[in-house]
């Protein structure tokens, strides 16, 4: 069984950014369907995606919902820096702050997760 963590850093401004987040979510779905352990984290400008993908009319919404169980949340510090802390919480996701306001990638690696960035 694989253990994979997908770190979404892509901003939410361009068609290319949408492509990166959709690729990350599609890969997450593939691993989940295979029964692997998956964690999805939104960091940096990527914290903007949670509120966008939570909108039922958004491109990628259905894919996002299909992997929602694997979403760990968004970086607390970055969500604040990009002005989306309230939106992340309103969408029902956690703000991650294990290391100095940020999620701990070290803990994921120590737990045997391979980290992919998008």
Structural domain for 60, as ranges: 3-117
Domain at 42, CATH number: 3.40.1260.10
What are the pLDDT digits (tens) for 83-93? 999 999 999 99
How many domains would you assign to the chain?
1
Q: What is the pLDDT of residue 110?
A: 98
Beta-sheet strands, E only, within the chain: 3-8, 37-42, 71-75, 95-96, 114-117
Mean pLDDT of 107-117: 98
Q: What is the pLDDT of residue 115?
A: 98
What are the pLDDT digits (tens) for 11-39? 999 999 999 999 999 999 999 999 999 99
Look at residue 73 and give its three-state secondary structure: strand
The total of other beta-carbon atoms located within 10 Å of residue 23's CB is 15
Name residue, tokens 């045997």.
Answer: 112
CA distance 56 to 58: 6
Of 105, 116, 118, whose CA–CA distance to 36 is shortest? 116
Say whether pTM exceeds 0.85.
yes
Residue 3's pLDDT band (cuts 50, 70, 90): very high
Q: What is the pLDDT of residue 28?
A: 98
Q: What is the pLDDT of residue 69?
A: 97
CA distance 15 to 4: 25
What are the pLDDT digits (tens) for 48-72? 999 999 999 999 999 999 999 999 9
Q: What is the pLDDT of residue 114?
A: 98
List alpha helices for 39-118, DSSP H: 49-54, 61-66, 76-81, 85-90, 105-110
Name the average pLDDT for the chain: 97
Name residue, tokens 């979403």.
Answer: 71
């Amino acid at each position: 069984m694989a253990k994979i963590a997908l770190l979404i850093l892509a901003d939410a401004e361009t068609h290319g950014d949408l492509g990166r987040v959709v690729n990350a979510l599609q890969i997450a779905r593939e691993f989940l369907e295979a029964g692997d352990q998956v964690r999805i984290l939104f960091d940096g400008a990527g914290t903007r995606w949670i509120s966008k993908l939570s909108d039922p009319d958004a491109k990628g919404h259905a894919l996002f919902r299909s992997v929602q169980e694997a979403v760990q949340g968004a970086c607390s510090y970055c969500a604040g820096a990009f002005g989306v802390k309230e939106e992340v919480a309103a969408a029902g996701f956690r703000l991650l702050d294990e290391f100095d306001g940020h999620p701990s990638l070290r803990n994921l690696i120590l737990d045997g997760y391979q980290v992919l960035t998008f």
